[in-house]
């Protein structure tokens, strides 16, 4: 058994190697660009020739720290005359040369080009910062040719949720929000939110490409209370989407007809938030004739088609139950779809989509 510990200024833990430091520091932060540091190594192009530019920033790469305090220009190879290609702007740590550098991996021209593969082994480790589309026959790289591929380093933090001033217009750019977890309350006069006032907004922003916003309405209008969310990505907001919590409503006990009687939990039903009507019943008595009406569902709990089957089974004798068909018509009539063996127990279960 080998026990290892370091660093200390004397003793066994004093002579710490590069590999040991890397092994230890790899637990401090995950590999990637470090958010909110300088300009986060953002890659862009401005139609100034076959080149791209990497803004200043810092990164953590397999236990190593990297910093670039100024904009760096990287050359892009000449375009192919016939086919486009995809290049990658990368950050690379090379353990053979003990260097970390920004570089361009050139792809292969093709009618349907793909980006080159990253090298990630014990000799070098590469991460992508951006994907560059090099169209056929071009002599400059435009802003639209650059696709951000940065992954941010994740690390422990003691940051708390920050309350920020209300943003009254929900159409405000996501770039105007600070990095981190923030919140504010909406008041009268706010626009663009699912409900115009009395809401709480939670913002979870990891960066310009990872920003989720949650809106919760807690006003006096119980009908519209709820939670919505949307995303900011690449310069635009997605549509608001409402979260639906599928909780089973209270059961409704049906009014039986033609001599049928409730047994145990009886004939009961409910409609969920998606408009599905669920039926669960144990009854007996009634008539044995086909088309005998057991109960009638009220408007809003009826199917849209005129022949909707539920699963039924009737008690025969000590040998048990046998299958028995139950039909629900679009007028709400719940009927026997065959002649019953007797007036003994009849079990009914199933669900259907209610009329709109």
Q: What is the pLDDT of residue 221?
A: 53
Hey, which of 154-158, 206-210, 245-249, 290-294 has the most confident mean pLDDT? 290-294
> What average pLDDT does the segment 86-115 reach?
95
Judge if 39 and 142 occupy the same domain. yes
pLDDT: which is higher, 222 or 75: 75
**CA-to-CA distance for 200 and 342, rounded, in angstroms?**
60
Question: Mapping DSSP to helix (H, G, I), strand (E, B) and coil, where does residue 16 land?
Answer: coil
- The proportion of the chain whose per-residue pLDDT surpasses 70, expressed as a percent, equals 94
Report the range of poorest mean pLDDT among 156-160, 209-213, 234-238, 276-280: 156-160
Q: What is the pLDDT of residue 19?
A: 82
How many domains does the chain fold into?
A: 3
Q: What is the pLDDT of residue 212?
A: 93
Q: Is 157 a member of any domain?
A: no
**CA-to-CA distance for 123 and 93, rounded, in angstroms?**
9
User: Partners of 210 in the beta sheet?
Assistant: 207
Residue 157 burial class via C-beta count within 10 angstroms: exposed 0-12, middle 13-18, buried 19 and up: exposed
Judge if 229 and 256 occupy the same domain. no
pLDDT tops 50 at residue 89: yes
Model confidence band, residue 223 (pLDDT cutoffs 50, 70, 90): low
Judge if 62 and 169 occupy the same domain. no
Q: Is 14 a member of any domain?
A: no
Judge if 293 and 341 occupy the same domain. yes
What is the separation of C-alpha 353 from the centre of its chain, rounded to a whole number of angstroms? 27
Q: Is 9 a member of any domain?
A: no
The residue from 187, 222, 242 where one domain ends is 242
Long-range contacts of 35-39, Cβ-Cβ distance < 8 Å, separation of 24 or more: 35/152, 35/153, 35/179, 35/206, 35/207, 36/179, 38/67, 38/68, 38/69
Determine the structural domain holding residue 331 and report its residue range: 252-353
Q: What is the pLDDT of residue 255?
A: 96
CATH number of the domain to which 64 belongs: 2.60.520
Judge if 238 and 335 occupy the same domain. no
Report the range of poorest mean pLDDT among 11-25, 210-224, 244-258, 312-326: 210-224
pTM: 0.48
Q: Transcribe 141-199 into DSSP letters.
A: --GGGEEE---B------PPPEE-----BTTS-GGGSPSEEEEEEE-TT-BSSSSSSSE
Q: Is 154 a member of any domain?
A: no
Judge if 65 and 143 occupy the same domain. yes
pLDDT tops 90 at residue 180: no
Q: Is 286 a member of any domain?
A: yes
Model confidence band, residue 67 (pLDDT cutoffs 50, 70, 90): very high
CATH number of the domain to which 277 belongs: 2.60.40.1830
Q: Is 226 a member of any domain?
A: yes
In degrees rounded to 5, what are phi and psi of residue 22?
Answer: -65, -40
User: Partners of 53 in the beta sheet?
Assistant: 44, 73
Q: Is 142 a member of any domain?
A: yes
Spell out the alpha helix ranges (H) of the chain. Answer: 18-25
Residue 162, both tokens: 């920050």
Q: Are the beta carbons of 177 and 158 closer than 8 angstroms?
A: no
Residue 207, both tokens: 């960066």
Arithmetic mean of pLDDT over the chain:
88
Q: What is the pLDDT of residue 156?
A: 47
The residue from 148, 170, 196 where one domain ends is 148
Judge if 233 and 283 occupy the same domain. no
pLDDT tops 80 at residue 324: yes
The residue from 181, 214, 242 where one domain ends is 242
Judge if 282 and 340 occupy the same domain. yes
Q: Is 118 a member of any domain?
A: yes
Q: What is the pLDDT of residue 154?
A: 64
Q: What order do you get walking across the sheet with 85-94 strand by strand? A: 99-105, 85-94, 124-134, 146-148
pLDDT: which is higher, 244 or 264: 264
Judge if 220 and 260 occupy the same domain. no
Model confidence band, residue 268 (pLDDT cutoffs 50, 70, 90): very high
Judge if 38 and 139 occupy the same domain. yes
Judge if 39 and 102 occupy the same domain. yes
Question: What confidence tens digit (pLDDT) does each residue in 107-148 have?
Answer: 999 999 999 999 999 999 999 999 999 999 999 999 999 999
Q: Are the beta carbons of 259 and 287 closer than 8 angstroms?
A: yes
Judge if 318 and 257 occupy the same domain. yes
pLDDT tops 90 at residue 78: yes
Distances (CA, A) of 188 to 170, 185, 213, 220, 230: 13, 10, 20, 13, 21
Model confidence band, residue 159 (pLDDT cutoffs 50, 70, 90): low
Q: Are the beta carbons of 264 and 248 closer than 8 angstroms?
A: no
């Amino acid at each position: 058994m080998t026990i290892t510990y370091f660093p200390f200024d004397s003793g066994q833990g004093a002579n710490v190697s590069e590999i040991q430091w890397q092994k230890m520091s790899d637990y401090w932060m995950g590999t990637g660009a470090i958010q909110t540091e300088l300009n986060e190594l953002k890659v862009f192009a401005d139609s100034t020739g076959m080149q791209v530019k990497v803004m200043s920033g810092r990164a953590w790469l397999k236990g190593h720290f990297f910093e670039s305090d100024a904009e760096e220009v990287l050359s892009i190879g000449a375009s192919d005359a016939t086919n486009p290609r995809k290049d990658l702007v990368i950050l690379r740590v090379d353990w053979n040369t003990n260097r970390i550098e920004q570089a361009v991996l050139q792809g292969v021209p093709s009618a349907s080009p793909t980006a080159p593969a990253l090298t990630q082994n014990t000799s070098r480790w590469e991460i992508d910062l951006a994907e560059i589309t090099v169209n056929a026959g071009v002599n400059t790289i435009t802003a639209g040719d650059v696709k951000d591929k940065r992954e941010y380093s994740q690390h422990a933090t003691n940051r708390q949720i920050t309350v920020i001033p209300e943003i009254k217009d929900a159409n405000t750019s996501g770039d105007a929000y600070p990095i981190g977890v923030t919140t504010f309350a909406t008041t009268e006069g706010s626009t663009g939110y699912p409900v115009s006032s009395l809401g709480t907004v939670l913002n979870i922003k990891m960066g310009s490409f990872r920003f989720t916003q949650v809106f919760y309405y807690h006003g006096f209008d119980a009908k519209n209370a709820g939670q919505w969310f949307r995303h900011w990505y690449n310069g635009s907001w997605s549509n608001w989407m409402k979260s639906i919590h599928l909780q089973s409503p209270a059961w409704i006990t049906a009014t039986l007809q033609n001599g049928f009687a409730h047994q145990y939990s009886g004939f009961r039903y409910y409609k969920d938030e998606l408009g599905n009507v669920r039926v669960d019943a144990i009854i007996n008595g009634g008539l044995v004739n086909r088309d005998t009406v057991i109960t009638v569902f009220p408007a809003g709990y009826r199917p849209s088609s005129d022949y909707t089957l539920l699963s039924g089974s009737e008690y025969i004798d000590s040998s048990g139950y046998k299958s028995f068909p139950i039909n629900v018509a679009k007028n709400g009539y719940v009927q026997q779809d065959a002649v019953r063996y007797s007036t003994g127990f009849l079990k009914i279960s199933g669900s259907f989509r209610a009329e709109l």
